[in-house]
Amino acid sequence: MSKRLVSRFRLCLVAICIMGAFGCIGARLVHLQVVQHEVLTKEVEGNRKRIVVSRARRGNILDTNLNLLATSRSFIEVGLDPQVLKTEDQAKFEQLAAILGIPATRVREAADRRTVAVSRGTVRTIRTVRWVELHDGVDDATYDRVLELGITGVYGNRDYRRTYPGGDMAAHIIGYVNREGVAVIGAENALDFYLKGQDGWFESERDGRRNELARFRSRDIAAVDGLNAILSIDVVVQHIVETELKRVVAKFEPLCASIIVSDPMTGFILGLANHPSFDPNHYGKADLAFQRNIAISNILEPGSTFKVVAASGALEEGLVGTDTQIDCGLDSVVVGRRRLPLPRDSHPHGVLSVADIVSRSSNRGAAQLGIRLGRNRLYRYAQAFGFGQETGFLLSGEENGILHPVRNWDALTITRLPMGHAVGATPLQIHSAMSAIANLGILMKPQFVRYIADGEGNIVVGFEPVQRRRVISEKTARTMASLLRRVVSPEGTAATAAIPGFEVAGKTGTTQKIVDGQYSHSHHVGSFSGFFPASRPSVAVTVIIDDARLNGTAYGTTVAAPSFKAIAEQLIPYLGVNPTEPVGKYALMENTLRDRLP
């Protein structure tokens, strides 16, 4: 082979290699510029431009006297961008870790995390990492120390975290916001529309060192902070209620318990506490069952507190008077063509007046009042008092209770319902029914929000008292109040709730719990619901203790009525409730202890 032929061959080979190389380059350019044009353009824009969210500050929740119940604490989330870290800054990683209170190895691992694999279906791509979190929240002073280190690529993002200064105080009313910023329960959830505010944002451009080019900032939308919610809850009243509840829990170790205090004339709740409870600052440590507001979600047979329904209905319909005599020694009565057995009384009674039936809590007397009313009217009055339906309380999770329609009653329901069996109610329903008598026969919607205000204190939305309906006439309500006063007399079932010098009216309740489908003789729900002064009610209080542990029966007069008295005695000077007759330590007050507090 000649040298000329070899040289020509080599020349062609080199030419082919060069053309192949240019062809590969061209193909790659086509792939990048045409096939992946949109993907790469977005990545470049993402590196150069960014949308920065300005978090709105969530509004505060305050009590009726503007004491702080929930607020948002500012914090800064600290992280780094591995793409812009400088080699010389690695010597400062130990100091950075010490300031943040994290291991130095965590900082080094974050610095080395420059890429991450992302799978979308069958496509797997490698993306650059521009943010690795080092600490989920530090205060401003700590962040200033981080910045003083001067580490390129280490920076923070400001956000807000919810905090509850009172700990577990009023936890079931306030609720909480979780770490993801979701309002889960309570006022936080119910009033989220007003509290959350509106986040702002702006679009900016950055140079190759990730520094913002402020002159290119555009579409700057300012954040709008949330509004403040002012509740009807009074922290002093709430403290009184929770302190008493803790005493009851320590003494009786109940399965659960609820105490509700309200203004019966307006329906506004002044204090509400449940056992068990939780601390919203540490909601993750509490059992989910503890977060349930049992005052609106637990259904129980109201027992003798329900007797006000039959008694009120019979008086309202003119079927009986307070002096009407009824034989409570009978063990059965004839209704139509059937003889119906009457429920037993805890103590034998003979002939009692209607007033005595209420004060001595006769089951047989209440049953006969129900029979005189008849099925349809008894059912209507039970409905009118709010049983078997939601109260309209703003918090989520409220149960309707149980009130079967007349068509589903059996033969004994007419004798059992008047004594508070064959019906299920929440503690708030029981409380509302008693409050209707205190409010001269008008059933109010229970509420816990006074108004919504802006940062300057201007009222944006007000919540006025809401009348649901008139249940009984004012005359009947006053009559019932006088009968309920006798319950708290020495001859009644709740002498332990009496307060010298004050007209206390109320009703005890003791219900056998249903265990394994039968009424238990050792598990009871003891309750007391009442108000004072009876002639001009200022406060309504309901105490319900579920399955108290003690020797003997957990009667309402034993486990609940004393708590009513203990709470009422503390509310009297604080709220400025004047005695009907100045006696002992109580004297007429021109202003309240609440007025004298700083």
Nearest C-alpha neighbor of 174 from the set 299, 300, 283, 286: 283
**Cα–chain center distance at 540:** 21
| Residue pLDDT, tens place only, 334-368 | 988 889 999 999 888 999 999 999 999 999 999 99
Q: What share of the chain is helix, strand, coil (3-state, %, to 5)?
A: 40, 25, 35
Nearest C-alpha neighbor of 219 from the set 235, 201, 193, 234: 201
Residue 444 to residue 460: CA distance in whole angstroms = 23
Tell me the angle at which helices 307-316 and 363-373 cross, rounded to the nearest 10 degrees: 40
**Cα–chain center distance at 249:** 21
Residue type, 497: A
| 477 and 555 Cβ atoms separated by less than 8 Å | no
Torsion angle of C-alpha atoms 65, 66, 69, 73, degrees rounded to 10:
-170
Q: Which two tokens stand for residue 453?
A: 């205000």
Task: Output the 3-class SS for 13-73.
Answer: HHHHHHHHHHHHHHHHHHHHHHHCHHHHHHHHHHHHEEEEEECCCCCCEECCCCCEEEEEE
| 252 and 545 Cβ atoms separated by less than 8 Å | yes
Residue type, 216: F
- β-bridge mates for residue 361, sequence order: none
Nearest C-alpha neighbor of 349 from the set 361, 367, 333: 361
Kindly list the averaged pLDDT for each block of 10 residues, start to end, along the chain of length 598: 60 80 79 70 60 81 97 88 83 89 88 78 73 85 89 82 94 94 95 90 59 55 89 98 97 96 98 97 92 96 96 97 96 90 90 96 96 96 97 95 96 95 96 98 97 94 97 97 96 93 94 84 93 94 96 92 97 90 56 50
Residue 152 to residue 563: CA distance in whole angstroms = 63
Q: Which two tokens stand for residue 536?
A: 């001009």
Give residues with Cβ within 8 angstroms of 1, minimum separation 6.
Answer: none
Residue 200's pLDDT is what?
A: 77
DSSP code, position 226:
P
Nearest C-alpha neighbor of 330 from the set 344, 314, 319: 344
* Cβ neighbours of 506 (radius 10 Å): 35
Residue 537 to residue 181: CA distance in whole angstroms = 42
Pairing verdict, β 49-54 and 200-206? antiparallel
DSSP code, position 587:
-
Residue 369 to residue 327: CA distance in whole angstroms = 11
| 434 and 531 Cβ atoms separated by less than 8 Å | yes
Nearest C-alpha neighbor of 567 from the set 506, 523, 483: 506
Nearest C-alpha neighbor of 480 from the set 544, 435, 445, 422: 435
| 269 and 234 Cβ atoms separated by less than 8 Å | no
Secondary element (H or E) of residue 514: strand 505-515
What is residue 121's three-state secondary structure? coil
* Cβ neighbours of 354 (radius 10 Å): 25
* Cβ neighbours of 153 (radius 10 Å): 19
Which domains occur in the chain, in start order?
235-596 (3.40.710.10)
| 231 and 69 Cβ atoms separated by less than 8 Å | yes
Residue 501 to residue 96: CA distance in whole angstroms = 68
- β-bridge mates for residue 246, sequence order: none
Task: Output the 3-class SS for 276-332.
Answer: CCCCHHHHHHCCHHHHCCHHHHCCECCHHHHHHHHHHHHHHCCCCCCCCEEECCCCE
Concatenated DSSP letters of 431-481: HHHHHHHHTTTEEEPPB-EEEEE-TT--EEEE----EEEE-S-HHHHHHHH
Give residues with Cβ within 8 angstroms of 365, minimum separation 6.
Answer: 326, 328, 349, 352, 354, 356, 357
Residue 327 to residue 325: CA distance in whole angstroms = 7
Residue 150 to residue 128: CA distance in whole angstroms = 23
Q: Which two tokens stand for residue 260?
A: 């509700």
* Cβ neighbours of 555 (radius 10 Å): 23
Bond from prior residue into 533 cis (ω within 30 degrees of 0): yes
Distance of CA 270 to CAs 88, 194, 239, Å?
Answer: 61, 22, 11
| Residue pLDDT, tens place only, 204-217 | 666 555 555 455 55
